[in-house]
Structure 1
C-alpha cells in the first residue's frame, strides 16, 4: 500500500504531462495544416477572405480547436500579382485548447504561419 501511495501520484503526473505534451503538438500541427490549406486556397484567382476563413473553420472546428484567429498579409489576396508573397498566420490560445487548463500555459498563444508565392 505504501508503494502504491507513493508511486500513483508520480505515475499520474507523468501520464498527464505526456498527454498534455501530445495535445500541444497536435494543436501546433493543426494550426500549421490550417495555415497551409488557407495559403494554398488564397492563390486561387477570385478567392475572398471569407473563403479563407471558411476553410480555416472547417479544418479547425473539425479538430476541436477553439478561439483561433486567421491573419492574412496582405489582407486581401485578390490584390496579389504573380510572384508576390502571401502569408497566412493562424493563432490559438494554448490554455483554452489544453486538457488541464490555464495553470500550465497561462496566457500563451500558439501561432503558425505559411508563406506562399502567388501563381498564375
Structure 2
C-alpha cells in the first residue's frame, strides 16, 4: 500500500487570524443591525398601539350619551394593556358630552418614544409619536 503524506496548508494560521479580524469588524455592524431592527419594530408597535387607542376612544366618544371620562378610559385601557408610558389623550371638542349629532369628534393620542423604547431609547433622540382619529357624533 502506498501511503500518502497529509496535505500541508502553509497559510492555515494566517487564515485563522484573518477570520478573527473579519469577525471583529463585522460584529458591531451585525449588532447595530439587530438592535436597530428591534428599535424600529418597537416604534411601529407604539404607533399602531396609539392608533388603536385613538380609534377605541373615538368609537366610544361618538355614542349617544357618552362622556369624556368614559371615552378616555376606553383609550387608556388599550394603552395600559400594551404598557405604553407617559401617554396623553386629547379630545376636540374638549367636552364631548355636549357635542351635537353630526359634529366631528377628534381624538389625538400621543406618547414619547424614549420611555417606550425596548433597547436603544437612551441613545436615540426622543420624539413624540401621535395618532389621530376623526369620527362623526351619532
1:41 and 2:60 correspond: yes
1:10-25 matched pairs, under 5 angstroms: 10-25=29-44
Take 1:95 and 1:105, find their aligned partners in 2: how far apart are those partners?
7
CA RMSD between the two structures: 1.1
Moved over 6 A (4+): none
Give 1:43 deviation, angstroms: 0.9
Take 2:122 and 2:128, find their aligned partners in 1: how far apart are those partners?
11
1:1-120 matched pairs, under 5 angstroms: 1-99=20-118, 100-106=120-126, 108-119=127-138
Task: Give TM-score, length-normalised by structure 1.
Answer: 0.92
* Structure 1: tracts of 5 or more residues without a match: none
Give 1:103 deviation, angstroms: 2.7
Q: Which has the higher helix share?
A: 1
Aligned residues: 118
1:59-102 CA-to-partner distances (Å, cap 9, x unmatched) read 01111111100000001111111111000000101111112114
* Structure 2: tracts of 5 or more residues without a match: 1-19
Structure with the greater relative contact order (CA < 8 A, sep ≥ 6): 1 or 2? 1
Task: Give TM-score, length-normalised by structure 2.
Answer: 0.81
